[in-house]
Amino acid sequence: MSLELLFFSAGWCEPCKWAEPIVNEVIENAAGKISLNKIDIDANAAMAKQHHIMSVPTLVLFKEGKEVWRMKGFDTASNLQKIFANII
């Protein structure tokens, strides 16, 4: 099973800066089950457009190459861990 979390953010985005340590904690606690790909929308505008990113931060989880979950904004690490545990 292959899980990848795309974390769309921007350097000027304050909520993105708040979300980053939460996302990092969730990935660490996933014990290698989820890979993380951080994407700066300014440096990767084409990728942001391809994934229909309209605001940041946005988290998109893929399972075996298919989108299975998406969230605009962010949540607590414990809530994200519960969500991902149901998907894993």
What positions carry a catalytic annotation?
Answer: 13, 16
In the chain, the amino acid numbered 44 is N
Question: pTM, whole model, 2 decimals?
Answer: 0.93
| pLDDT given at position 1 | 53
Tokens of 70: 């998406």
Residue whose pair of structure tokens reads 């861990």 in the numeric block: 81
| pLDDT given at position 61 | 96
Tokens of 82: 């519960």
| pLDDT given at position 88 | 80
CATH number of the domain at 3-87, out of 3.20.20.70, 3.40.30.10, 3.20.20.150, 3.40.50.300?
3.40.30.10
Q: Domain-by-domain residue ranges, the chain?
A: 3-87
Phi, psi of 75 (to 5 degrees): -135, -175
Per-10-residue mean pLDDT of the chain, 88 residues long, equals 91 96 94 94 97 97 95 94 89
27 contacts 19 by C-beta, under 8 angstroms: no
